[in-house]
Amino acid sequence: MKTNQRNNVVHIANIHETAVVHSDAEIGKDVEIGPYSVIGENVKIGEGTEIGAHVVIDGWTEIGKNNKLFTGASIGLEPQDLKYHGEESYLTIGDDNTIREYVTIHRGTEEGGRETKIGNDNLLMAYCHVAHDCQLGDNIIMSNAVNLAGHIMIEDSAVISGLTGIHQFVRIGKMAMVGAHSKVVKDVPPYILVDGHPATVNGINVIGLRRNGITPELRKEIKTAYKYLYRSSLNISQAIEKMDQELDSSPEIEHFLRFLRNAQRGICR
């Protein structure tokens, strides 16, 4: 049991005697740090977070409350980008995330705004990799050995199945699902199910919509939007125009349209 005193407040943390924790690291109340883990100088760890054995957390990394990091995770190290030359860059992780064995998450680069960011309530299973400047939302599931290249954005409640590789700058939309062993080189619109090498569209992620509380009426609207986009003779611009004119306005449909309008790499077809 050790204490970390800052601003006249004593925080009690359970730090194993073999762990190496820099004296300037900020360790919150009730944090647990396991055997042989290494915590760097500029790291901040929020209260209630559990860090397993042989975990390395370094760089300008801030981790929120009640996270769980398992054996061998490597968090906040330098990005694997040849344009990176040691400049200060950041990794920010929110609350209540589970980061399993041997996950790697790297800090940002100058080109990407210097920050990699992960939200709340995410599950990153063993051997996942999150490269520099990725932006992850909340309630995301990444199954074993998912690999994200740099500058990827994954929106809330998306599911990425195991052994999937995602190309740099790709966006994965809200409540979308990517099947196992997929190669994703274009944006995946919200609510859509894709699979394959390269990934192609297989339908709507109906199970995901139900699990996230989307009503039957709204699911019907999303199905109509899907038909305009993928099952008609309309091009993408025409499909967007038809959705905008004919579908009932809702936050979900508006988000779908906004995603399509902002697609930079094209969308999976």
DSSP for 97-118 reads -EE-TT-EEE---TTTTTEEEE
> CA–CA separation, 150 vs 197, rounded Å?
20
Let me know if 54 is a catalytic residue: no
Identify whether the C-beta of residue 100 lies closer than 8 Å to the C-beta of residue 67. Answer: no
Residues 131 and 232 in one domain: no
Residues 134 and 215 in one domain: no
Percent of the chain at pLDDT above 90? 95
Helix, strand, or coil (residue 11): strand
Is the pLDDT at 111 greater than 90? The verdict is: yes
Residues 147 and 18 in one domain: yes
User: Looking at 125, 151, 177, which one is the last position of a domain?
Assistant: 151
The pTM of the whole model exceeds 0.85: yes
* Residue in 76, 94, 108, 133 annotated catalytic: 133
128 domain residue, yes or no? yes
> CA–CA separation, 35 vs 194, rounded Å?
41
Residues 129 and 215 in one domain: no
Residue 190: is the preceding peptide bond cis (ω within 30°)?
Answer: no
> CA–CA separation, 242 vs 229, rounded Å?
9
CATH number of the domain residue 90 falls in: 2.160.10.10
8 domain residue, yes or no? no
238 domain residue, yes or no? yes
pLDDT, residue 4, reads 53
213 domain residue, yes or no? yes
Residue 189: is the preceding peptide bond cis (ω within 30°)?
Answer: no
Let me know if 255 is a catalytic residue: no
52 domain residue, yes or no? yes
Strand ranges of the sheet holding 104-106, from the earlier edge strand across to the other edge: 20-21, 38-39, 56-57, 74-77, 104-106, 129-130, 147-148, 165-166, 183-184
Residues 58 and 143 in one domain: yes
What domain range is 258 assigned to?
Answer: 209-262
* Residue in 132, 156, 187, 195 annotated catalytic: 132
Environment class of 29 (CB within 10 Å of its CB; exposed 0-12, middle 13-18, buried 19+): middle
User: Looking at 135, 151, 167, which one is the last position of a domain?
Assistant: 151
Identify whether the C-beta of residue 63 lies closer than 8 Å to the C-beta of residue 93. Answer: yes
Let me know if 150 is a catalytic residue: yes
> CA–CA separation, 55 vs 34, rounded Å?
8
> CA–CA separation, 107 vs 146, rounded Å?
18
Q: 91: which 2 tokens?
A: 């990794």
Q: How far is CA 208 from the centre of its chain?
A: 17
135 domain residue, yes or no? yes
Residues 38 and 125 in one domain: yes
* Residue in 46, 59, 150, 173 annotated catalytic: 150
Q: For the residues 59-84, what does the mean pLDDT come to?
A: 98
User: In the structure, what pLDDT confidence band is assigned to residue 212 with cuts at 50, 70 and 90?
Assistant: very high
198 domain residue, yes or no? no
Q: What is the pLDDT of residues 4-63, one digit of tens each?
A: 554 434 456 899 999 999 999 999 999 999 999 999 999 999 999 999 999 999 999 999
Residues 214 and 147 in one domain: no
CATH number of the domain residue 215 falls in: 1.20.1180.10
Residues 21 and 112 in one domain: yes
254 domain residue, yes or no? yes
Q: What is the pLDDT of residues 153-211, one digit of tens each?
A: 999 999 999 999 999 999 999 999 999 999 999 999 999 999 999 999 999 999 999 99
Any residues with CB less than 8 A from the CB of 245 and at least 6 apart, and which?
A: none
CB half-sphere exposure, 153, CA atoms < 13 A: 15
Place of tokens 């995602």: 166
